[in-house]
Amino acid sequence: MMGMRIGRLMGSVVIALVVGVSSPAMAADEPTVGAKAAYVIDSAGTIHFGKRETKRVPVASLVKIMTAYVVLSEGRLSDTITITAADVKYAAKGGAATAGLRKGERFTTRDLLYALMLPSGADAANALARHYGPGKTAFIAKMNRTAHTLGLADTRYTNADGMPTLAGGYSTAVDQARLAQHALRSSVFTTVVGSTAHKVTKSKVHRAHTWRNTNKLLTQADDVLGVKTGYTDAAGYCLLFAAERNGLQVVGVLLDDQNERRFSTAEKLLNYAGDQIGLG
């Protein structure tokens, strides 16, 4: 009888001790991601999410990140570029997004980078590629050489804008994240892709333009750095995004997703990565 009482008492003590122990903070559940491919990595090299991240697929206007990267390596922001009828026609013929550029207008390279990255202007992409190739064929060769130099082994470019005008272009979520990490080292690039709008006042060489960023994540989540939206029928809705979380830069990619869902999913992935960094 005494032994039974002691046993019950010890059991009660053990239960009390277990109940009284505070468990460590639990990590948030991994978000559900409906995109066909996705990848999230931070600046310390920790991978927070992966889904078909090495599959070669078209990436639509995410191509313009490499266009901007090459331009920033090749030119000066004060260079002046005159818009041609071919630049305007190229965007209109392909049904691409445009920055509303007009034949004869002259812009600095800095302004054309905003026209390229905010409204995703294929007319701006054509003008920049034509100028800094010189010629589009030479510029695309520079894009592919740069991809090779950066170690983007699963990336091939066929144009400067991501439109399916020429078959054979592809990349992966991993390669796009790596490219963004390189591009975001440029303060100019970061300033451009982090802007919600850019206004070019009317002058003697061009009309007034206001370009608004298609990346809704900039106004939906905190500390977002950019980077770029994209869409074609073949690629689906794409988003390359970056933000600061718990002292680290987090870069993520969503490929072939739904339009609005990509922004809410990106925010969830950023917060998830931030929680993981905090626990580490």
Respond yes or no: is residue 120 known to be catalytic.
yes
In Å, how far from its chain's centre is CA 66?
Answer: 11
Active site residue 43: no
- Find the catalytic residue in 64, 136, 142, 216: 64
Cα distance between residue 210 and residue 118, in whole Å: 10
Single-letter amino acid, residue 111:
D
Catalytic residue among 120, 142, 171, 216: 120
**Is 195 one of the annotated active-site residues of the chain?**
no
Q: In this structure, are residues 279 and 27 in contact, taking their beta carbons and an 8 Å threshold?
A: yes
**Which of 61, 136, 216, 228 does the annotation list as catalytic?**
61
Alpha-carbon distance of 53 to 176, in angstroms, equals 10
d(CA 235, CA 164): 9
In the block, residue with structure tokens 């600061």: 244
Give the active site residues: 61, 64, 120
